[in-house]
A and B are shown apart, each in its own frame.
Chain A
Amino acid sequence: MFKKILFATSATKASDHAARVAFNISNLYNSHMNILHILGVPSRGFSQKVTDVKTREKVEVDDEYIAWVKEEIKTYYAELLPKTKSYEIKTLIGYPHREILREIRKNKPDLLVMGRSTESEGSPVYKFGSAGSTLQRVIKASDCPVLLVNRPAASFWGSITNIVFATDFSKSSDVAFDFACKLARNINCELHIFHAQNISLTPESEIFDQDTIEQRMREKLRFFRKKYVSKMEGIDNYSIEVWEGVPYIEIVKYAREKFADLIIMAQDSKNPGSTTEELGSNIKQVILRAGCPVLCMTK
Protein backbone atom coordinates (compact mmCIF):
# COMPACT_ATOMS: atom_id res chain seq x y z
CA MET A 1 0.00 0.00 0.00
CA PHE A 2 2.84 2.37 0.83
CA LYS A 3 5.52 1.24 -1.59
CA LYS A 4 7.02 4.67 -2.09
CA ILE A 5 7.12 7.24 0.71
CA LEU A 6 8.23 10.79 0.24
CA PHE A 7 9.45 12.32 3.47
CA ALA A 8 9.87 16.07 3.21
CA THR A 9 12.14 17.23 5.97
CA SER A 10 14.01 20.25 7.16
CA ALA A 11 16.27 17.83 9.09
CA THR A 12 15.61 19.93 12.17
CA LYS A 13 13.70 19.27 15.37
CA ALA A 14 10.48 20.34 13.63
CA SER A 15 10.63 17.18 11.50
CA ASP A 16 11.72 14.77 14.24
CA HIS A 17 8.28 13.44 15.07
CA ALA A 18 7.35 13.01 11.44
CA ALA A 19 10.67 11.26 10.83
CA ARG A 20 9.92 8.69 13.47
CA VAL A 21 6.57 7.92 11.87
CA ALA A 22 7.90 7.98 8.30
CA PHE A 23 10.70 5.54 9.06
CA ASN A 24 8.37 3.34 11.05
CA ILE A 25 5.92 3.13 8.13
CA SER A 26 8.81 2.35 5.84
CA ASN A 27 9.87 -0.43 8.20
CA LEU A 28 6.35 -1.85 8.56
CA TYR A 29 5.46 -1.80 4.88
CA ASN A 30 8.93 -2.30 3.35
CA SER A 31 8.62 1.00 1.57
CA HIS A 32 11.29 2.79 -0.36
CA MET A 33 11.84 6.17 1.20
CA ASN A 34 12.70 9.34 -0.64
CA ILE A 35 14.03 11.88 1.81
CA LEU A 36 13.58 15.34 0.36
CA HIS A 37 15.30 18.38 1.76
CA ILE A 38 14.83 21.83 0.34
CA LEU A 39 18.09 23.69 0.69
CA GLY A 40 16.52 27.09 0.68
CA VAL A 41 15.06 29.85 -1.37
CA PRO A 42 17.44 31.32 -3.97
CA SER A 43 18.47 34.89 -3.28
CA ARG A 44 17.29 35.76 -6.79
CA GLY A 45 15.81 33.80 -9.69
CA PHE A 46 17.94 30.80 -10.73
CA SER A 47 20.70 31.90 -8.38
CA GLN A 48 22.69 29.15 -6.68
CA LYS A 49 22.99 31.28 -3.55
CA VAL A 50 20.56 30.23 -0.84
CA THR A 51 20.09 30.77 2.86
CA ASP A 52 21.06 27.56 4.61
CA VAL A 53 18.20 26.25 6.75
CA LYS A 54 20.37 25.21 9.68
CA THR A 55 23.19 27.71 9.77
CA ARG A 56 21.10 30.58 8.36
CA GLU A 57 24.07 31.70 6.34
CA LYS A 58 24.05 32.58 2.68
CA VAL A 59 25.74 29.73 0.87
CA GLU A 60 26.72 28.92 -2.68
CA VAL A 61 25.15 25.63 -3.64
CA ASP A 62 27.65 23.45 -5.48
CA ASP A 63 28.30 19.70 -5.57
CA GLU A 64 30.50 19.88 -2.50
CA TYR A 65 27.85 21.69 -0.50
CA ILE A 66 25.12 19.25 -1.59
CA ALA A 67 27.31 16.29 -0.63
CA TRP A 68 27.92 17.90 2.76
CA VAL A 69 24.19 18.48 3.35
CA LYS A 70 23.38 14.90 2.38
CA GLU A 71 26.01 13.65 4.81
CA GLU A 72 24.53 15.89 7.52
CA ILE A 73 21.09 14.44 6.88
CA LYS A 74 22.49 10.91 7.06
CA THR A 75 24.10 11.75 10.38
CA TYR A 76 20.94 13.42 11.67
CA TYR A 77 18.85 10.35 10.90
CA ALA A 78 21.58 7.79 11.65
CA GLU A 79 19.41 5.98 14.19
CA LEU A 80 16.40 5.82 11.92
CA LEU A 81 17.95 5.03 8.55
CA PRO A 82 18.55 1.33 9.33
CA LYS A 83 14.77 0.95 9.65
CA THR A 84 14.22 1.48 5.96
CA LYS A 85 15.14 -1.15 3.38
CA SER A 86 16.06 1.44 0.80
CA TYR A 87 16.25 5.18 0.73
CA GLU A 88 17.46 8.10 -1.32
CA ILE A 89 18.28 11.59 -0.15
CA LYS A 90 17.47 14.38 -2.53
CA THR A 91 18.12 18.09 -2.16
CA LEU A 92 16.49 20.85 -4.16
CA ILE A 93 16.60 24.62 -4.28
CA GLY A 94 13.42 26.64 -4.32
CA TYR A 95 10.24 27.39 -2.46
CA PRO A 96 9.52 24.31 -0.36
CA HIS A 97 5.87 23.87 -1.34
CA ARG A 98 6.60 24.13 -5.07
CA GLU A 99 9.51 21.73 -4.94
CA ILE A 100 7.61 19.21 -2.81
CA LEU A 101 4.63 19.33 -5.18
CA ARG A 102 6.93 19.00 -8.19
CA GLU A 103 8.55 15.97 -6.61
CA ILE A 104 5.11 14.42 -6.00
CA ARG A 105 4.11 14.94 -9.62
CA LYS A 106 7.40 13.56 -10.85
CA ASN A 107 7.84 10.50 -8.65
CA LYS A 108 4.23 9.74 -7.69
CA PRO A 109 4.79 8.55 -4.12
CA ASP A 110 2.02 6.63 -2.33
CA LEU A 111 2.36 8.87 0.68
CA LEU A 112 3.93 12.16 1.63
CA VAL A 113 4.98 12.53 5.26
CA MET A 114 5.57 15.97 6.73
CA GLY A 115 6.22 17.35 10.17
CA ARG A 116 5.27 20.62 11.72
CA SER A 117 6.25 23.97 10.42
CA THR A 118 9.82 25.08 11.04
CA GLU A 119 8.25 28.44 11.79
CA SER A 120 7.10 26.97 15.07
CA GLU A 121 10.75 26.42 16.00
CA GLY A 122 11.41 30.12 15.58
CA SER A 123 13.58 29.75 12.50
CA PRO A 124 13.66 33.08 10.70
CA VAL A 125 14.79 31.44 7.47
CA TYR A 126 11.38 30.13 6.62
CA LYS A 127 9.44 32.96 8.15
CA PHE A 128 8.87 34.89 5.00
CA GLY A 129 6.34 33.21 2.87
CA SER A 130 7.32 29.58 2.97
CA ALA A 131 7.13 27.29 5.96
CA GLY A 132 4.05 28.50 7.79
CA SER A 133 2.13 28.05 4.62
CA THR A 134 4.19 25.23 3.09
CA LEU A 135 2.20 22.57 4.81
CA GLN A 136 -1.12 24.08 3.85
CA ARG A 137 -0.12 24.74 0.26
CA VAL A 138 1.18 21.21 -0.15
CA ILE A 139 -1.92 19.62 1.34
CA LYS A 140 -4.17 21.70 -0.89
CA ALA A 141 -2.45 20.70 -4.11
CA SER A 142 -0.96 17.28 -3.42
CA ASP A 143 -1.81 14.41 -5.75
CA CYS A 144 -1.03 11.88 -3.04
CA PRO A 145 -2.25 11.49 0.55
CA VAL A 146 -0.36 13.68 2.99
CA LEU A 147 0.42 12.35 6.44
CA LEU A 148 1.06 15.02 9.03
CA VAL A 149 2.67 14.56 12.39
CA ASN A 150 2.46 17.80 14.27
CA ARG A 151 2.66 16.95 17.96
CA PRO A 152 5.35 14.78 19.50
CA ALA A 153 2.53 12.80 21.13
CA ALA A 154 1.43 11.78 17.64
CA SER A 155 4.71 10.11 16.85
CA PHE A 156 4.69 7.09 19.15
CA TRP A 157 3.32 4.97 16.42
CA GLY A 158 3.78 1.24 16.40
CA SER A 159 1.30 0.25 13.75
CA ILE A 160 -2.20 1.05 12.54
CA THR A 161 -4.92 -0.80 14.42
CA ASN A 162 -7.57 1.91 14.64
CA ILE A 163 -8.45 4.43 11.97
CA VAL A 164 -10.82 7.31 12.53
CA PHE A 165 -12.39 8.63 9.36
CA ALA A 166 -13.93 12.02 10.00
CA THR A 167 -16.51 13.05 7.45
CA ASP A 168 -18.75 15.96 6.64
CA PHE A 169 -20.50 13.93 3.89
CA SER A 170 -18.96 16.03 1.12
CA LYS A 171 -17.63 14.71 -2.19
CA SER A 172 -14.05 15.16 -1.05
CA SER A 173 -14.89 13.14 2.02
CA ASP A 174 -16.02 10.31 -0.25
CA VAL A 175 -12.51 10.12 -1.71
CA ALA A 176 -11.07 10.04 1.77
CA PHE A 177 -13.59 7.35 2.74
CA ASP A 178 -12.53 5.14 -0.17
CA PHE A 179 -8.93 5.48 0.92
CA ALA A 180 -9.82 4.73 4.56
CA CYS A 181 -11.68 1.58 3.50
CA LYS A 182 -8.83 0.47 1.26
CA LEU A 183 -6.37 0.94 4.09
CA ALA A 184 -8.60 -0.78 6.67
CA ARG A 185 -9.03 -3.79 4.35
CA ASN A 186 -5.37 -3.89 3.50
CA ILE A 187 -4.07 -3.91 7.04
CA ASN A 188 -7.12 -5.46 8.68
CA CYS A 189 -7.70 -2.76 11.27
CA GLU A 190 -10.73 -1.19 12.89
CA LEU A 191 -12.44 1.67 11.11
CA HIS A 192 -14.35 4.28 13.09
CA ILE A 193 -16.51 6.56 11.00
CA PHE A 194 -17.28 9.83 12.69
CA HIS A 195 -19.20 13.00 12.11
CA ALA A 196 -19.43 15.98 14.42
CA GLN A 197 -22.69 17.89 14.33
CA ASN A 198 -21.49 21.46 14.47
CA ILE A 199 -23.08 23.43 17.28
CA SER A 200 -20.37 26.04 17.64
CA LEU A 201 -21.82 29.48 17.98
CA THR A 202 -20.86 32.09 15.43
CA PRO A 203 -22.70 35.35 14.88
CA GLU A 204 -24.46 33.80 11.87
CA SER A 205 -25.28 30.45 13.39
CA GLU A 206 -28.65 29.45 14.73
CA ILE A 207 -29.03 28.20 18.26
CA PHE A 208 -30.82 24.86 18.39
CA ASP A 209 -32.38 23.26 21.40
CA GLN A 210 -31.01 19.86 22.46
CA ASP A 211 -34.02 17.95 21.08
CA THR A 212 -33.38 19.39 17.62
CA ILE A 213 -29.67 18.64 17.86
CA GLU A 214 -30.36 15.04 18.86
CA GLN A 215 -32.96 14.65 16.12
CA ARG A 216 -30.40 15.87 13.57
CA MET A 217 -27.82 13.49 14.95
CA ARG A 218 -30.21 10.57 14.55
CA GLU A 219 -30.94 11.62 10.97
CA LYS A 220 -27.24 11.89 10.22
CA LEU A 221 -26.59 8.48 11.73
CA ARG A 222 -29.24 6.97 9.45
CA PHE A 223 -27.78 8.80 6.48
CA PHE A 224 -24.33 7.60 7.51
CA ARG A 225 -25.39 3.97 7.45
CA LYS A 226 -27.08 4.35 4.09
CA LYS A 227 -24.14 6.16 2.55
CA TYR A 228 -21.20 4.19 3.89
CA VAL A 229 -22.05 0.73 5.20
CA SER A 230 -22.81 -0.80 1.80
CA LYS A 231 -19.34 0.22 0.63
CA MET A 232 -17.57 -1.40 3.56
CA GLU A 233 -17.49 -4.97 2.35
CA GLY A 234 -14.62 -6.87 3.93
CA ILE A 235 -14.37 -4.56 6.91
CA ASP A 236 -15.77 -6.40 9.90
CA ASN A 237 -14.64 -4.16 12.68
CA TYR A 238 -16.19 -0.76 12.36
CA SER A 239 -18.18 1.74 14.33
CA ILE A 240 -20.24 4.71 13.27
CA GLU A 241 -20.89 7.67 15.52
CA VAL A 242 -22.21 11.19 15.44
CA TRP A 243 -21.40 13.60 18.25
CA GLU A 244 -22.39 17.20 18.70
CA GLY A 245 -19.92 19.98 19.41
CA VAL A 246 -17.17 21.98 17.80
CA PRO A 247 -16.09 19.63 14.98
CA TYR A 248 -12.31 19.74 15.34
CA ILE A 249 -12.46 19.30 19.11
CA GLU A 250 -14.89 16.40 18.82
CA ILE A 251 -12.72 14.72 16.17
CA VAL A 252 -9.63 14.97 18.37
CA LYS A 253 -11.57 13.72 21.41
CA TYR A 254 -13.17 10.87 19.48
CA ALA A 255 -9.80 9.78 18.10
CA ARG A 256 -8.40 9.80 21.62
CA GLU A 257 -11.30 7.73 22.90
CA LYS A 258 -10.90 5.18 20.12
CA PHE A 259 -7.11 5.04 20.61
CA ALA A 260 -6.80 5.97 16.97
CA ASP A 261 -3.46 5.53 15.26
CA LEU A 262 -4.57 7.57 12.31
CA ILE A 263 -7.21 10.17 11.48
CA ILE A 264 -8.23 10.40 7.84
CA MET A 265 -9.91 13.55 6.58
CA ALA A 266 -10.53 15.35 3.35
CA GLN A 267 -8.99 18.78 3.12
CA ASP A 268 -11.24 21.78 2.80
CA SER A 269 -14.05 19.51 1.79
CA LYS A 270 -16.65 22.24 1.68
CA ASN A 271 -14.64 24.23 -0.86
CA PRO A 272 -12.63 21.72 -2.89
CA GLY A 273 -11.85 24.15 -5.65
CA SER A 274 -11.09 27.14 -3.49
CA THR A 275 -8.01 29.04 -4.51
CA THR A 276 -7.13 30.29 -1.05
CA GLU A 277 -3.88 28.89 0.30
CA GLU A 278 -5.38 28.34 3.75
CA LEU A 279 -6.82 25.02 4.78
CA GLY A 280 -10.25 24.80 6.29
CA SER A 281 -10.30 25.62 9.97
CA ASN A 282 -11.40 22.16 11.10
CA ILE A 283 -8.72 20.18 9.33
CA LYS A 284 -6.10 22.73 10.33
CA GLN A 285 -7.04 22.46 13.98
CA VAL A 286 -7.21 18.66 13.86
CA ILE A 287 -3.69 18.57 12.38
CA LEU A 288 -2.43 20.83 15.15
CA ARG A 289 -4.15 19.07 18.03
CA ALA A 290 -4.44 15.38 17.18
CA GLY A 291 -2.65 12.85 19.31
CA CYS A 292 -1.99 10.69 16.26
CA PRO A 293 -0.92 11.35 12.68
CA VAL A 294 -3.51 12.94 10.39
CA LEU A 295 -3.83 11.80 6.81
CA CYS A 296 -5.24 14.44 4.48
CA MET A 297 -6.74 13.56 1.15
CA THR A 298 -7.15 16.09 -1.59
CA LYS A 299 -7.77 14.26 -4.83
Chain B
Amino acid sequence: MKKILIIDDDPSIQEYLIDLFEDNGYFTASAINVEEALELVNSEPFDLITLDLEMPGEWGPRFYSKMVQNTTLKNIPVVVISGMSGNEYAISKAVASLTKPFDRKELLKIVQDILN
Protein backbone atom coordinates (compact mmCIF):
# COMPACT_ATOMS: atom_id res chain seq x y z
CA MET B 1 0.00 0.00 0.00
CA LYS B 2 1.14 3.52 -0.76
CA LYS B 3 2.17 5.75 2.11
CA ILE B 4 1.40 9.45 2.50
CA LEU B 5 3.13 11.87 4.84
CA ILE B 6 0.88 14.66 6.13
CA ILE B 7 2.72 17.76 7.31
CA ASP B 8 0.44 20.24 9.05
CA ASP B 9 0.56 22.00 12.39
CA ASP B 10 -3.22 21.93 12.77
CA PRO B 11 -4.28 18.68 14.51
CA SER B 12 -7.81 18.87 13.14
CA ILE B 13 -6.53 19.06 9.55
CA GLN B 14 -4.13 16.21 10.26
CA GLU B 15 -6.94 14.09 11.63
CA TYR B 16 -9.17 14.94 8.67
CA LEU B 17 -6.49 14.00 6.14
CA ILE B 18 -5.55 10.80 7.96
CA ASP B 19 -9.20 9.69 7.89
CA LEU B 20 -9.60 10.69 4.26
CA PHE B 21 -6.51 8.84 3.05
CA GLU B 22 -6.86 5.77 5.27
CA ASP B 23 -10.53 5.39 4.31
CA ASN B 24 -9.33 5.23 0.73
CA GLY B 25 -6.70 2.60 1.26
CA TYR B 26 -3.51 4.54 1.94
CA PHE B 27 -1.11 4.32 4.86
CA THR B 28 -0.36 7.63 6.53
CA ALA B 29 2.12 9.25 8.86
CA SER B 30 2.00 12.80 10.14
CA ALA B 31 4.28 15.56 11.33
CA ILE B 32 3.44 18.86 12.98
CA ASN B 33 6.58 20.74 12.00
CA VAL B 34 9.51 20.72 9.59
CA GLU B 35 11.90 19.08 12.03
CA GLU B 36 9.59 16.16 12.69
CA ALA B 37 8.81 15.83 8.98
CA LEU B 38 12.50 15.67 8.05
CA GLU B 39 13.09 12.95 10.61
CA LEU B 40 10.24 10.95 9.12
CA VAL B 41 11.25 11.29 5.45
CA ASN B 42 14.78 10.34 6.32
CA SER B 43 13.71 7.24 8.21
CA GLU B 44 11.01 5.69 6.04
CA PRO B 45 9.88 5.81 2.41
CA PHE B 46 6.86 7.87 1.35
CA ASP B 47 5.01 7.95 -1.94
CA LEU B 48 3.47 11.39 -1.50
CA ILE B 49 3.62 14.32 0.88
CA THR B 50 0.91 16.86 1.70
CA LEU B 51 2.53 20.01 2.95
CA ASP B 52 1.19 23.00 4.85
CA LEU B 53 3.05 26.27 4.27
CA GLU B 54 2.84 28.39 7.39
CA MET B 55 3.90 26.46 10.48
CA PRO B 56 5.53 27.41 13.77
CA GLY B 57 9.29 27.64 13.29
CA GLU B 58 10.33 26.80 9.76
CA TRP B 59 7.77 26.98 6.99
CA GLY B 60 6.79 24.37 4.42
CA PRO B 61 9.00 25.70 1.62
CA ARG B 62 12.00 25.27 3.93
CA PHE B 63 11.07 21.63 4.45
CA TYR B 64 10.87 21.17 0.69
CA SER B 65 14.23 22.81 0.05
CA LYS B 66 15.88 20.66 2.71
CA MET B 67 14.21 17.50 1.48
CA VAL B 68 15.26 17.90 -2.15
CA GLN B 69 18.89 18.22 -1.12
CA ASN B 70 18.68 14.49 -0.48
CA THR B 71 18.75 12.92 -3.96
CA THR B 72 16.78 9.88 -2.82
CA LEU B 73 13.92 12.08 -1.65
CA LYS B 74 13.82 14.78 -4.28
CA ASN B 75 11.27 13.01 -6.49
CA ILE B 76 8.59 12.48 -3.86
CA PRO B 77 5.51 14.32 -5.14
CA VAL B 78 4.37 17.16 -2.91
CA VAL B 79 0.83 18.54 -2.70
CA VAL B 80 0.64 21.94 -1.01
CA ILE B 81 -2.41 22.41 1.20
CA SER B 82 -2.52 25.82 2.80
CA GLY B 83 -4.79 28.66 3.73
CA MET B 84 -2.29 31.21 2.46
CA SER B 85 -3.15 33.23 -0.59
CA GLY B 86 -1.00 32.61 -3.63
CA ASN B 87 0.10 29.20 -2.35
CA GLU B 88 0.54 27.99 -5.92
CA TYR B 89 3.70 30.12 -6.04
CA ALA B 90 5.25 28.73 -2.88
CA ILE B 91 6.84 25.57 -4.26
CA SER B 92 7.23 25.68 -8.00
CA LYS B 93 7.75 21.92 -8.29
CA ALA B 94 4.72 20.92 -6.21
CA VAL B 95 2.39 18.65 -8.18
CA ALA B 96 -0.68 20.53 -6.95
CA SER B 97 -1.71 23.34 -4.62
CA LEU B 98 -4.97 23.46 -2.74
CA THR B 99 -6.33 26.28 -0.65
CA LYS B 100 -8.01 25.54 2.67
CA PRO B 101 -10.90 24.89 2.94
CA PHE B 102 -10.35 22.40 0.14
CA ASP B 103 -12.64 20.00 -1.62
CA ARG B 104 -11.97 16.45 -0.37
CA LYS B 105 -12.96 14.95 -3.74
CA GLU B 106 -10.51 17.20 -5.54
CA LEU B 107 -7.70 16.27 -3.18
CA LEU B 108 -8.49 12.59 -3.41
CA LYS B 109 -8.54 12.74 -7.19
CA ILE B 110 -5.13 14.44 -7.24
CA VAL B 111 -3.70 11.84 -4.87
CA GLN B 112 -5.21 8.94 -6.81
CA ASP B 113 -3.98 10.32 -10.14
CA ILE B 114 -0.47 10.52 -8.76
CA LEU B 115 -0.34 7.27 -6.84
CA ASN B 116 -2.41 4.87 -8.88
- A interface residues (Cβ-Cβ under 8 A, vs B): 16-17, 20, 151-153, 155-159, 161, 259
Contact = CB atoms under 8 A, between A and B. Distances in A.
Contacts of B62: 158-159, 161, 259
B89 interface: yes
22 contacts: A16-B86, A17-B86, A20-B84, A151-B89, A152-B86, A152-B89, A153-B89, A153-B92, A156-B59, A156-B60, A156-B87, A156-B89, A157-B59, A158-B54, A158-B57, A158-B59, A158-B61, A158-B62, A159-B57, A159-B62, A161-B58, A161-B62
Contacts of A158: 54-55, 57-59, 61-62
Interface string B47-90: 00000011101111110011000000000000000001111011
Query: Which 4 pairs from chain A and chain B are nearest by CB?
Result: A158-B59, A259-B65, A152-B86, A152-B89
Interface residues of B, number: 18
A25 B2 CA distance: 39
Given A16-B85, A259-B65, A153 B90 contact: yes
Contacts of B90: 153, 156
B64 to A, nearest CB: 9
A155 B86 contact: yes
A156 B53 contact: yes
Nearest to B56: A158
Contacts of B61: 156, 158
B83 to A, nearest CB: 9
Nearest to B63: A158
Contacts of B57: 158-159
Interface string B84-103: 11110110100000000000
